[in-house]
Amino acid sequence: MSFTGAGTTATFTIEDPDGDGGNPPTRIDTIRLKAGQTYTSAIAFKNLSGGTERDLTAGIAAQGKAHEVFYLPTGVTLTITKTDKDANGYPLGLNSTWAVGTVGTGSILLKLMHKSGIKGPNDAPTLGHSDIQIQVPVRITN
């Protein structure tokens, strides 16, 4: 994930070589943001298995009518707004803005949901099945 705002651009990485399930991720960077700031964010999904990197993000966008990214904060004050849409005009979530509240620590549950034939404009993050689900630590500082 990359964030631009507060005069900087920062990238945070999550690596899970065997994918969702199986072994736990080998790397989860803490997302570090400044209180009272607004950031634009973009997320990329890559497959690193077999020693070759494949960017899956364009495929997820192309199949946007069957996918949606959810960001569910716990313990931190964040207002996350998805800024991109699928071909039907429904939220996708590969791009978003993050309005950051007060100083604190917590986490974001990051979910890439697969919703073939069932996606609507205001879906709950439980509709469909999870392609990716991971808890990412978040630290908000002054």
pLDDT digit of tens for each residue in the chain (142 aa)?
999 999 999 999 999 887 777 889 999 999 999 999 999 999 999 988 778 889 999 999 999 999 999 999 999 999 999 999 999 999 999 999 999 999 999 999 999 999 999 999 999 999 999 999 999 999 999 9
**Both tokens of residue 34?**
């400044």
Q: Which amino acid is at 41?
A: S
Q: What is the CA radius of gyration of the chain?
A: 15
pTM summary value: 0.95
Total domain count for the chain? Answer: 1
* Domain boundaries, position 105: 2-141
Supply φ then ψ for residue 68, to 5 degrees: -155, 135
**Residues near 21 by beta carbon (within 8 Å), at least 6 away in sequence:** none
Tokens 């069957």 correspond to what residue?
66
Rounded to whole angstroms, the Cα distance separating 130 from 38 reads: 28
Q: Pairing state of beta strands 95-100 and 78-82? A: antiparallel
Supply φ then ψ for residue 61, to 5 degrees: -65, -45
The CA distances from residue 44 to 35, 38, 142, in Å, are 24, 20, 27
